[in-house]
């Protein structure tokens, strides 16, 4: 053997050893999978030049995996995105229900209810329109309007205007009703200039996030709209090929606003409606399997407050044993309370569950941070020791060799949210994202969308796309394995899980057949 | 044991296991080291609030480890930087000699030689001054000036103007001679607006880098100035506490320009001067150990061209056996030729060395990329298989579990250049940098400055600072271990290495003594 031959042989063996833990390395693909993967790789390579290698109007110097909010229109126009859009996605394991529906749709839902009102701290003028965030709330049906236009110079600050009237009378200077829509929805999501210029770091962008989240939530938590909202969420994800979801509902508010404008609708009602809508949807749609709920609460209460929530969660679990599948604490880990400070109630709750004969596994957010050894980073240790079944984000897990090993060996999957991480400035673009580190270390991963209302990544296709264009190793087949893993690491058990997996495999087979035959037709 | 006690115990053990590979975890510190580390951590915590937690003029929303070019003035003003500046740094193992001296200093060196001329493709006006890059070259001593001012409306494009005359006659509108300095040096380095706005990604920023590098190099490769330049380099690094350097010299140009303006000074002369300057410096300065050379060539020649360079390197090694300590290929790995395409000559050269009884280890650049499975990323496989002693950058190594293991087990150190990586947009800021991943996986690391002329990070203090403020795990003691490792993983051998290590330990002890006693005085 010549030295060159020897090198070549050793090289292949080394690459093999290096990728041994990868999800796409250990499983044997069938020939149609290989063929589809090859087609997708070919199109990706072509579009790297034809789409990402040329200048676009308003998008100078694009590149594959670029900032999502800037590149979204280009992404949507690609052939590769068209393929991914059709692919069955498996389970969506990390999404916050109150931030999942497109703001424009949500705004138009609100317009149907006369209860919704809007107000602002000043008359809206051209000089403050891009800085004053309005407040929107459902009030009592007989609430007397306090003003009729936010843009009228006579508008008394902080007076409530009926929502639809405020829209109709939004001054023409600002685009009239359509201008009103742009104005309001602009504050309900994060725009490129906030993410990539004015608030371009992980500390600052959270200000925008919180403000946008609050606007959305104040509309969502209204019983008459809640029903419609959940239906819309299910339609959106089903249309994107998502078969099953374990959605996080934020139960921090004790009550939702009811049709009478009173904030008195308890948690149990929220879930009753959720279950009705899901059951109806399942009956109507053969292409959707189910939706379950992870009970979440914002990590800013004290230990006693958390105990109350855990108790509430237990009550709900007993009432809806098939719906509640986990418990989680949410919010900016960099500034809010770490798991370490909640150990006593969280450990007690595990004992309590044994005693009550129920199982509400922890599915904790942890390590959603660039910090090294900070409280957000160290949440990973506590989450794992508390027996978390999956980890929400786990962005900083890659720093921890022992924890990566534990996740691999004990099957603790990471709910990785690529676009969320990028917009919240944990990574500047997808090529910098640590996902390849996780994949190569054999950490199980389920790709997720997190808060699509705010990030504008409804479904999973955008996240799948961003992942696959930022790597030469990852391909369509890798995405398929990640979709399979989203089912494997769901909280479903036994026959249910088998059934969903079979449903996915059937859809995947149909998808492959269509892709391969349509490509044959083209060549 | 209560569940809480059990958790607490397991937590400590888990953190311990997770950090077991760290350089600062396995070595027992002495009490003064612990004390100094504690002082630095206290100051870091204070300054996180008093310095990084407040708004600065021209630097809105600063944060520890922020973009270096924007935050440099703030960094320089901190007490922690003052401490790090005084700390002995060990060895500088990754720097490109032709890009190490501050552009302003270099420009003023050039002004002393009447041979230097400057020209531009147009008359410099207010509308093109920020886009036209001038060309600077040493010409023959008797070269007749072709024009006398770049800003005079009658300037014939591309006519050579004597450098100092061009400076004197630079129009007052543009700041006169000082404006000239700002204008020229602006093109010799990368400014914040290029790095963070106009060229804000790893593909585009290389355009700026190449243009700036060329300007510097056309001044540096002039024999009369070369001597002075090397002296300046040594003074700068010694002033920053660097005791030893293995500097990369770019031998891609066959000849340097001599005093007579002819480009005919061969490589052997370059090294002769280098050695003279270093020997003089060593004799004068007790605080400096030595400087050696890694022969480098740009990775854009064909295989035959590389063979010629390898042959040249061998000749030089025989002539300067104690000076040449390695061979490397340099330049943007994303677009230039990968090691894979040079295997034949590189493998042959290893045989050749055995035959000739010399040893010129490979110290390859590899993985300086955000790519995943790209040719730049895969250079890592070939570098390691070719027996590289260290890896230049290895930014993408963190993706490769097997390669990290090999580096740890075989002692292949990474020359990590934090500020270079950030300005070249591999990472958006230090909190996103993969260094903690390397440290926690036990990959040996030597921090380096790369191209301080372009990045404005002369010495190692800035890189040390950026690393230590972006982590709660890494402390002053970690930096000390990295400094020790820079000596351990240098190409020095036997008694020489022992001597340098002892020199460092003595300096470190003095540094500790001073720090600890000055702090005692303050409290």
Q: Residue ranges of the domains in chain B?
A: 85-102+241-489, 104-210
What is the rounded distance in angstroms from the CA atom of residue A467 to the CA atom of residue A246? Answer: 22
**Closest to A84 (Cα-Cα) out of A434, A509, A468, A452:** A468
Largest interatomic CA distance in chain B: 90
CATH number, span B85-102+241-489? 3.20.20.140
Comparing CB atoms, the residue among B17, B204, B372 nearest residue A470 is B372
Name the residue in chain B with its Cα closest to that of A20.
B402
Look at residue B27 in the predicted model and tell me its pLDDT.
Answer: 79
Largest interatomic CA distance in chain A: 90
pLDDT digits (tens, 9 = 90+) for A228-278: 999 999 999 999 999 999 999 999 999 999 999 999 999 999 999 999 999
Q: Which residues of B touch A377 (CB under 8 A)?
A: 472
Distance to chain A for B301, nearest Cα, Å: 20
pLDDT digits (tens, 9 = 90+) for A498-519: 999 999 999 999 999 999 998 8
Q: Which residues of B touch A61 (CB under 8 A)?
A: 201, 203-204
Q: Which residues of A touch B441 (CB under 8 A)?
A: 401
Q: Is A85-101+212-505 in CATH node 3.20.20.140?
A: yes
**ipTM confidence score:** 0.96
**Closest to B55 (Cα-Cα) out of A127, A204, A128, A425:** A204
Comparing CB atoms, the residue among A15, A399, A440 nearest residue B436 is A399
Look at residue A129 in the predicted model and tell me its pLDDT.
Answer: 96
**Mean pLDDT calculated for residue range A378-383:** 98
Q: Which residues of A touch B66 (CB under 8 A)?
A: 201
* Contact across the interface for B4 and A373, Cβ inside 8 Å: no
Q: Which residues of A touch B20 (CB under 8 A)?
A: 402
Tell me the two tokens of residue B440: 């926690």
Residue A281, H or E segment: helix A267-284
Tell me the two tokens of residue B317: 């090694």
* Contact across the interface for B18 and A403, Cβ inside 8 Å: yes
Q: Which residues of A touch B21 (CB under 8 A)?
A: 401
* Contact across the interface for B4 and A344, Cβ inside 8 Å: yes
Comparing CB atoms, the residue among B3, B381, B472 nearest residue A347 is B3
How many Cβ atoms sit within 10 Å of the Cβ of residue B387? 13
**Closest to B454 (Cα-Cα) out of B100, B194, B110:** B100
Interface mutation target, options B5, B437, B471, B475, chain A, most CBs of A under 10 Å? B437
Helix, strand, or coil (residue A340): helix
Q: Which residues of B touch A473 (CB under 8 A)?
A: 372-373
Tell me the two tokens of residue B516: 């600890």
Averaged confidence pLDDT in chain B: 96
Return the percent helix, strand and coil in chain A, to nearest 5.
55, 15, 35
DSSP B301: S
In the block, residue with structure tokens 């720093």: A399
Comparing CB atoms, the residue among B10, B434, B441 nearest residue A401 is B441
Name the residue in chain B with its Cα closest to that of A53.
B203
Look at residue A401 in the predicted model and tell me its pLDDT.
Answer: 98
* Contact across the interface for B344 and A61, Cβ inside 8 Å: no
What is the rounded distance in angstroms from the CA atom of residue A419 to the CA atom of residue A448? Answer: 9
**Closest to A420 (Cα-Cα) out of A455, A467, A453:** A455
Q: Write the CB contacts of A350 (distance below 8 Å, at least 6 apart in sequence).
A: A386, A387, B3
What is the rounded distance in angstroms from the CA atom of residue A270 to the CA atom of residue A256? Answer: 8
What is the rounded distance in angstroms from the CA atom of residue B27 to the CA atom of residue B502? Answer: 17
Comparing CB atoms, the residue among B7, B400, B431 nearest residue A18 is B400
pLDDT less than 50: residues of chain B:
523
pLDDT digits (tens, 9 = 90+) for A354-376: 999 999 999 999 999 999 999 99
Confidence band for A203, pLDDT divided at 50, 70 and 90: confident
pLDDT digits (tens, 9 = 90+) for A434-460: 999 999 999 999 999 999 999 999 999
Q: For the stretch A175-196, what's the b/e string if a residue is b when 16 or more beta carbons lie within 10 angstroms of its beta carbon?
A: eeeebbbebbbbbbbbbbebbb
Comparing CB atoms, the residue among B7, B377, B398 nearest residue A347 is B7
Q: Write the CB contacts of A410 (distance below 8 Å, at least 6 apart in sequence).
A: none
* Contact across the interface for A473 and B372, Cβ inside 8 Å: yes
* Contact across the interface for A204 and B61, Cβ inside 8 Å: yes
Is B471 exposed, middle or buried (CB count within 10 Å of its CB: 0-12, 13-18, 19+)? buried
Q: Which residues of B touch A8 (CB under 8 A)?
A: 343
pLDDT digits (tens, 9 = 90+) for A329-359: 999 999 999 999 999 999 999 999 999 999 9
Look at residue A523 in the predicted model and tell me its pLDDT.
Answer: 47
* Contact across the interface for B14 and A441, Cβ inside 8 Å: no
DSSP B99: G
């Amino acid at each position: 053997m010549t030295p060159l031959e020897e090198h070549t042989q050793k090289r292949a063996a080394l690459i093999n050893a290096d990728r041994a833990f990868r999800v796409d390395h250990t499983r044997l693909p069938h020939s149609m999978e290989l063929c589809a993967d090859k087609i997708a790789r070919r199109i990706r390579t072509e579009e790297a030049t034809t789409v990402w290698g040329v200048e676009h109007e308003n998008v100078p110097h694009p590149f594959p995996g670029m900032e999502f909010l800037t590149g979204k229109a280009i992404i949507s126009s690609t052939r590769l995105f068209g393929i991914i859009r059709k692919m069955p996605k498996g389970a969506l394991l990390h999404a916050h229900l109150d931030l999942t529906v497109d703001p424009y749709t949500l705004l138009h839902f609100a317009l149907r209810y006369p209860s919704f009102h809007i107000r602002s701290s000043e008359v809206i003028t051209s000089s403050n329109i891009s800085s004053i965030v309005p407040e929107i709330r459902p009030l009592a049906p007989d609430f007397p309007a306090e003003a009729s236009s936010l843009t009228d110079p006579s508008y008394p600050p902080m007076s409530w205007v009926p929502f639809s009237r405020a829209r109709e009378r939004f001054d023409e200077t600002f685009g009239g009703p359509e201008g009103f829509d742009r104005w309001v929805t602009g504050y309900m999501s994060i725009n490129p200039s906030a993410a990539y210029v004015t608030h371009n770091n992980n500390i600052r962008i959270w200000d925008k996030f919180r403000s946008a989240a609050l606007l959305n939530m104040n509309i969502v938590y209204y019983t008459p709209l809640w029903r419609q909202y959940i239906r819309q969420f299910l339609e959106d994800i089903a249309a994107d090929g998502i078969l099953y979801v374990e959605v996080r509902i934020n139960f921090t508010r004790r009550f939702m606003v009811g049709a009478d404008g009173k904030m008195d609708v308890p948690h149990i009602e929220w879930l009753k409606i959720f279950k009705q809508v899901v059951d109806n949807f399942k009956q109507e749609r053969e292409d959707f399997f189910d939706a379950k709920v992870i009970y979440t609460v914002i990590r800013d209460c004290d230990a006693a407050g958390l105990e109350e929530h855990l108790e509430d969660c237990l009550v709900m679990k007993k009432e809806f044993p098939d719906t509640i599948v986990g418990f989680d604490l949410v919010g900016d880990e960099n500034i809010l309370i770490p798991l370490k400070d909640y150990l006593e109630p969280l450990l007690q709750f595990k004992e309590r569950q044994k005693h009550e004969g129920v199982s509400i596994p922890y599915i904790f957010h942890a390590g959603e941070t660039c910090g090294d050894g900070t409280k957000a980073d160290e949440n990973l240790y506590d989450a794992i020791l508390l027996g978390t079944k999956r980890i929400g984000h786990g962005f900083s897990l890659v720093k921890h060799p022992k924890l990566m090993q534990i996740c691999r060996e004990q099957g603790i999957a990471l709910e990785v949210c690529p676009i969320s991480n990028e917009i919240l400035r944990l990574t500047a673009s997808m090529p910098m994202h640590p996902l390849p580190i996780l994949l190569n270390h054999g950490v199980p991963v389920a790709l997720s969308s997190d808060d699509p209302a705010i990030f504008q990544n409804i479904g999973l296709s955008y996240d799948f796309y961003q992942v696959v264009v930022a790597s030469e190793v990852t391909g369509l087949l890798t995405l398929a394995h990640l979709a399979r893993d989203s089912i494997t690491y769901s909280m479903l058990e036994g026959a249910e899980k088998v059934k969903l997996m079979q449903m996915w495999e059937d859809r995947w087979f149909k998808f492959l057949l269509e892709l391969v035959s349509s490509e044959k037709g083209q060549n």
